[in-house]
Structure 1
């Protein structure tokens, strides 16, 4: 018998799983630039979670072509990185540092790796681009009527961080996340539990209560889970009080009898790795919280 299942209270326990399905990121000044955000508004409409942080500045140094390989050179601080991109036959590098670089194919179509694409590769291949999490918040409104951008445009903490000053070589950056709106439930079945008489009832209750959890509730739970996980410098609420039975939101979770909550940021396309004073740089982050302090109810992360 696995030790973690010994002497547990119930043979059926549930965990609510939440994860970000897409994102929008931009420099903080971009939230005031209508032309910049216009193409992103449809994506932003679904983003109710936002993270404010610092990212290193990327300085594009130049480009070169070797046969059918494009080489882009980028500096971060005093370190230079060369990224190699395979080009299709017939595609040629054109331009210069002053007017801009681009590659052109035989039909005249022009394109070039975006800063996000470059950042993604620098992060994945060299661990060179990170995002220091300073503040996490959410905006939902009535039936999801408000999104992260609505809140950020009048955000006192964003202004406070900017006024305190941004370190040289860094940019104040916004990451907006869209959390998967569908409910997900993970259930454990424990044949060694003390009470095995309520299994069928607890399965039904878990499913009934799961689908009674609203998107607004999940947005707040996701926000609170990430704040407790990252412990951002500028957050106050939830840093030390989550999970807590004194919170109405958590009281509802206890009523639904969830045993644990999980909030994930696992998006391969992110152009940086998130970190904070208490969480190391990683490409994926999973905030896991038991909702019960009693040892006999802790079955997911024991």
Structure 2
């Protein structure tokens, strides 16, 4: 089974403290039960470079990434603004504010947030990826989940009193900034290949039929999907602040995964694409990319030799879906 992480929201930790998340975004984010915490070099702007003409903004961005050429000047169309507005930034110039003619704030965000908008409109990856590498790529620090009784606890509620998040923020160097990506899966796909292990009507054939019935016994509960996705993501990225699941996932004795083994599934996996967030993810063991995927077998190779088997190559699975 592959679960697509097709619901995602990116927030700065400040938004959790001052409750500045827009209502429509909050409703969407509250349905997310997984979260990823990461960091990247702080981005600042040259305040003398700031200008806005209707909805066309210009700024020179400077990254704290240790490189002499980590400077880029961009002009881009900023959604949600028009008319007589101005843009300003106070020391240390890592936050931009857009003010209207009456000095009311109509938009606020980290400098890297505005740079991400600019890069999203780049004509090609050749143009944007060098900038992403210096400014926007996110190093994954921690992956967690939040799932309360009847699924009524989302990631935002969990993060508002999260000791690991507070630890990450307290240990983060001053020239870095932290970001949170909320995740959830709204679609899952079960792939099968059938290799009969017996003759029609004999005991092996009957066991094959039972096996198939168990595997196709309806959709998995949302909590089970959240559980295995958390394990997959931790196993894949190997985040430094995670302790559990990095080496042990998947494990037949783990209670949260019991239904997967009851269904006699062979493997679980994930697909994650963050291009719409304008951020590539990376870790100490995973190279920067917008797209990440992996599959993990629930059984040792010697345990699985019957008719209902999952294909291990995720590229083959993706080709079948087209």
Smaller-chain TM-score bracket: 0.7 to 0.9
Report what 1:188 is aligned to: 193
Q: Compared with structure 1, are the counterparts of its residues 122 and 154 closer, same or farther at alpha carbon in structure 2 (3 Å cutoff)? A: same
Q: Deviation digits for residues 107-148 of structure 1, max 9, x if unmatched?
A: xxx999995463255486122311111111111111111011
Match for residue 83 of structure 1 among 70, 74, 77: 74
Instruction: Could you tell me which runs of 5 or more consecutive residues in structure 2 were left unpaired when the two chains were aligned.
Output: 90-95, 314-322
Q: Secondary structure at the match of 1:269?
A: helix
Report what 1:207 is aligned to: 216
Shift of 1:81: 1.6
Report what 1:31 is aligned to: 16
Give, in whole Å, the separation in 1 of the partners of 2:296 and 2:169: 32
Report what 1:131 is aligned to: 138
Shift of 1:268: 2.4
Report what 1:301 is aligned to: 312
Report what 2:25 is aligned to: 40
Report what 1:119 is aligned to: 116
Give, in whole Å, the separation in 2 of the partners of 1:96 and 1:152: 31
The two structures have a TM-score, normalised by structure 1, of 0.76
Report what 1:230 is aligned to: 237
Shift of 1:73: 2.8
Shift of 1:281: 1.0
- RCO greater where, 1 or 2, for CA within 8 Å and sep 6 or more? 1
Q: Does 1:167 align with 2:154?
A: no
Q: Does 1:176 align with 2:187?
A: no
Give, in whole Å, the separation in 2 of the partners of 1:103 and 1:194: 72
Q: Deviation digits for residues 212-262 of structure 1, max 9, x if unmatched?
A: x21011111111111111111111111111011221233321220111101
The two structures have a TM-score, normalised by structure 2, of 0.72
Give, in whole Å, the separation in 2 of the partners of 1:283 and 1:111: 27
Q: Compared with structure 1, are the counterparts of its residues 149 and 100 closer, same or farther at alpha carbon in structure 2 (3 Å cutoff)? A: closer
Q: Deviation digits for residues 189-231 of structure 1, max 9, x if unmatched?
A: 44xx6557546554443221x42x2101111111111111111
How many pairs does the alignment contain?
274
Alpha carbons 1:120, 1:272 under 8 Å: kept: no
Q: CA RMSD in A?
A: 3.5
Q: Compared with structure 1, are the counterparts of its residues 154 and 85 closer, same or farther at alpha carbon in structure 2 (3 Å cutoff)? A: closer
